[in-house]
Structure 1
Amino acid sequence: MEFIKEEIEDMSDPEPSRIKHEDTEEQIDWMEMKPQKHELNEAEEEQQSIKTNKLHTCPQCGKSFGRKGHLDKHLRIHTGEKPYPCTQCGKSFACGSGLKHHLRVHSGEKPFKCDQCGKDFNSSSNLNKHLKVHSDEKPFVCSLCGNSFSSLYYFKLHQKTHTEVRDHVCCDCGKSFITAGHLKEHQRIHTGERLYKCSYCHKSFTQSGSLKSHERLHTGEKPYQCTQCEKSFKCPRGLRNHLFVHSGEKPFNCDQCDKKFISSSHLKKHLTVHSDEKPHLCSLCGKIFSSLYYFKLHQKTHTEVRDHVCCDCGKSFITAGHLKEHQRIHTGERLYKCSYCHKSFTQSGSLKSHERLHTGEKPYQCTQCEKSFKCPRGLRNHLFVHSGEKPFNCDQCDKKFISSSHLKKHLTVHSDEKPHLCSLCGKIFSSLYYFKLHQKTHTEVRDHVCLDCGKSFTRADHLKLHQRIHTGEKPYKCSYCDKSLTRFEHLKSHERVHTGEKPYHCTQCGNSFKCSSSLLTHMKKCCK
């Protein structure tokens, strides 16, 4: 699943191209403070001041300048004076060049163009930073971890990740950040300020990078391409996470269960599993969530908002990730290949679950009976056996089920439609699942083999039932006597001996039976 959106990324990347670093207006002042027509005279004056040792020193921090004008501008950092206001929005700046740069935000003007890719920038300093993207030169090497950088700025930021220096602190909540820019973005959470509005819909964002990434959903633009499989992505983070699929690397480890993840955001989401804290309460149904993301998804189930629509068949989904997975049905794309057999899957979760059939791993354990399962869904459905809960009701016969998939299969019983025809024997099926199982009877494919006696089966669940002969396991206990049975349906049939219930009726003679097999036998012998 393309699974949770983070607006503020962590700084652990070796070359954090996803961080949209634009210099503050004050920084741009110093980088662009020499007007073109006076550039030569000012340079000569600066050199003359240095030669005659006429440095102008800041009395507050000790920094020295060759010109008094530069010192005067610098002092405004300490005094907070901003004498240059914008007439359009009222924002003020410490110097004229800062205001000039800011006005380009209103006008949309970007006069500095990259001659290699055509990208436009609103300042020469931002263009200079961008040009390093086209250069393979990375002269700044971290002595602690070996990562290399093309930019001194990002190299210094990276060093802070080792020293854990976070000297920019939010006054509202106390959270600290490595850069002033990240603090400024964070503060918008408290102010609710969303400066960047989408040109195509009503959404707005706290960061320009988030806006650009969002607008690519509308335009379909995917400028970040994988060199190994040519898959494209709308943002650098998507490409970076995708590359881990090829390398198999998962650099983010959970310190509580040793599970590994390809991104810090996935790790952060996972950590909520280990926390009992569930602060997000649904006011409509009372369900609680540890994650705000999943809480918001849940709310959509009440409002029935499905705003991600498949262009091929019109089916709609709650999340973009679910739509993406669905589209693989149309494209036939199966990215995830089994390491043990020839099978491939559309989802990484399906692959993991499948590979556990080969490895025998069952990491999900029931705390009530210590039974283990290879996937969370198996454990979740099993827990209904203990609780007796069956939350999915058939609206045609009031039969209840422990899962939506079981209900869906059952509903085909009420439908006369049987679209799946066997070309070998003419038998028809309402369910694709049972049709495929039936085909195995013709091909004699029995790929589920018992390790104890070598007997083979067409289905995994038939093998599982068979293995109880060897283990002696009888998990289904009668509520009325001490008898135990290997199968759930046998338990149901047995309990009807105690209750006297006979739910299967012969339509010809009116006789009733406690199980379907008895009814079938009766119809063959007595009511042909």
Structure 2
Amino acid sequence: MSYPDPSRIKHEDTEEQIDQMEVRHKLNKVKKHCDITIQGAKAKSLHTCSQCGKSFPYTSGLKSHLCAHSGKKPFNCDQCGKDFMSSSHLKQHLIVHSDEKPHVCFSRLDHLKLHQKTHDEVRDHVCCDCGKSFTRADGLKQHQRIHTGERPFKCSYCEKSFSVSRNLKEHERIHTGEKPYHCNQCEKSFKDTTALSKHLGIHSGEKPFNCDQCGKDFISSSRLKKHLIVHSDERPHVCSLCGKGFSRLDHLKLHQKTHDEERPHVCSLCGKSFSRLNSFKLHQKTHDEVRDHVCCDCGMSFTTAGQLKQHQRIHTGEKPYKCSNCDKRFARSGALKIHERLHTGEKPYKCSYCDKRFTHSGNLKSHERLHTGEKPYHCTQCGESFRHLSSLLIHMRKC
């Protein structure tokens, strides 16, 4: 610290004046330092993006910004495979995998703020084409691609393109076979989080989505939505061979296999064949005598949970399926369908040998044996064969 030359101080100068001179000297030093710092900051702001002209005080800021133009995301999450443009974004994301939620049910403050908008109904981003409003600018930008038809995200393996980057990433996993989402209870892996969350419901047994018409529970809202069509009269998928209508396309495809006689799943014990793998597996249980679903009222056991649930209606008297034409009710949806054909006159099962039609597939099978001469029911005592099970039972009482 330098002090004023005592020779330059007049005798009348007081101690207070000397202190003031010292303060002024210190202030000049601070001002000089600030000028140097400001000039240094100005010099640092010369890191400019060649693509959009934006400037940054540090090279690291420019480097992160350039990723926005290139689409490069060098920072990868080792828990779910998600990529990020900067280490800070990755750091924020990692909180999602931890149990830490400092912002009341949210791991990040910006997520909490966006969530709060849903309560406030603040939708300040409005589409100028249709008037639809959004809480976020990126939500609006994504929506506007519906109007423009823009699909900026192109698959590097095929010609397909997408309006949302997430959809592209999920699609490319079809080509790569990548399944980054792992179940922590078994060894199964999945392409997306939706499939993983559905799968986790199998382990927990939780089925939070309930049908208010029949009481059936489902692990996802999409499965409940599909199921609800069963209760409606809508049957948009019609079989071109027999005219039978189905509420779901996958049900129609399974039905068409009965016409094609494509039954690739053959039982090695009895020779019976099946078009569906799950039907084949259920059939095998009849040989193994695995009946692990037991009724707590009478002790009767079943091979499937569905069979047990259906059986329990005998004890409860529950008949959730009501005919829309009369007051009759049924314990099984299949029984209701057959009954309703009495009202509609529908006979979807046509004989392939003559013009006769039937309301029930079992009746068609029995009828066609008249044409084929098939007698599948054999008496174990005398070897005589019969077309119908009822005929065999009558015979066995006498044999």
> Could you tell me the TM-score, scaled by structure 2's length?
0.59
Distance 1:278 1:128 in 2: 58
1:197 partnered with 2:183 = yes
Distance 1:274 1:368 in 2: 18
**Paired residue type of 1:358:** H
Distance 2:156 2:300 in 1: 48
**Paired residue type of 1:111:** K
- Residues 82-481 of structure 1 mapped to structure 2, 5 A cutoff: 82-84=73-75, 93-104=84-95, 108-111=98-101, 120-123=105-108, 179-188=164-173, 191=177, 193=179, 195-197=181-183, 199=185, 204-224=189-209, 233-241=218-226, 244=229, 248=232, 250=234, 253-254=236-237, 266-271=248-253, 273=255, 281-282=264-265, 287=273, 289=275, 294-302=276-284, 309-310=293-294, 312=296, 313=299, 315-317=301-303, 324-393=309-378, 395=380, 398=383, 400=385, 406=389
**1:363–1:203: structure 2 CA closer, same or farther, 3 Å change rule?**
same
What runs of 5+ residues in structure 2 fail to find an aligned partner?
1-45
Identity across matched positions, percent: 36
**Paired residue type of 2:166:** G
Contact 2:209 2:217 in 1 (8 A): yes
What runs of 5+ residues in structure 1 fail to find an aligned partner?
1-53, 115-119, 416-503, 506-528
**1:89–1:402: structure 2 CA closer, same or farther, 3 Å change rule?**
same
- Over alpha carbons, which structure has the higher Rg? 2
The CA deviation at 1:356 is: 0.9
Contact 1:93 1:99 in 2 (8 A): yes
**1:254–1:80: structure 2 CA closer, same or farther, 3 Å change rule?**
same
Map Cα deviations across residues 213-249 of structure 1 (whole Å, 9 max, x no partner): 3444454434345678887643222443455567x37
**1:343–1:98: structure 2 CA closer, same or farther, 3 Å change rule?**
same
**Paired residue type of 1:298:** F
**Paired residue type of 1:301:** H
- Residues 479-494 of structure 1 mapped to structure 2, 5 A cutoff: none
Distance 2:393 2:155 in 1: 56
**1:326–1:286: structure 2 CA closer, same or farther, 3 Å change rule?**
closer
The CA deviation at 1:365 is: 1.4
Map Cα deviations across residues 49-99 of structure 1 (whole Å, 9 max, x no partner): xxxxx997673xx6x867586664343255464443557899864311342
Q: How many aligned residue pairs are there?
A: 342
**1:159–1:91: structure 2 CA closer, same or farther, 3 Å change rule?**
closer
Contact 2:378 2:384 in 1 (8 A): yes
SS of alignment partner, residue 368 of structure 1? coil
Contact 1:170 1:183 in 2 (8 A): yes
> Could you tell me the TM-score, scaled by structure 1's length?
0.47
Contact 1:222 1:234 in 2 (8 A): yes
**1:88–1:339: structure 2 CA closer, same or farther, 3 Å change rule?**
closer
**1:379–1:82: structure 2 CA closer, same or farther, 3 Å change rule?**
same
Distance 1:307 1:101 in 2: 50
SS of alignment partner, residue 342 of structure 1? coil
Distance 1:399 1:90 in 2: 66
**1:255–1:366: structure 2 CA closer, same or farther, 3 Å change rule?**
closer
SS of alignment partner, residue 369 of structure 2? helix
- Asked which structure has the greater RCO (Cα within 8 Å, sep 6+), the reply is 1
**Paired residue type of 2:264:** L
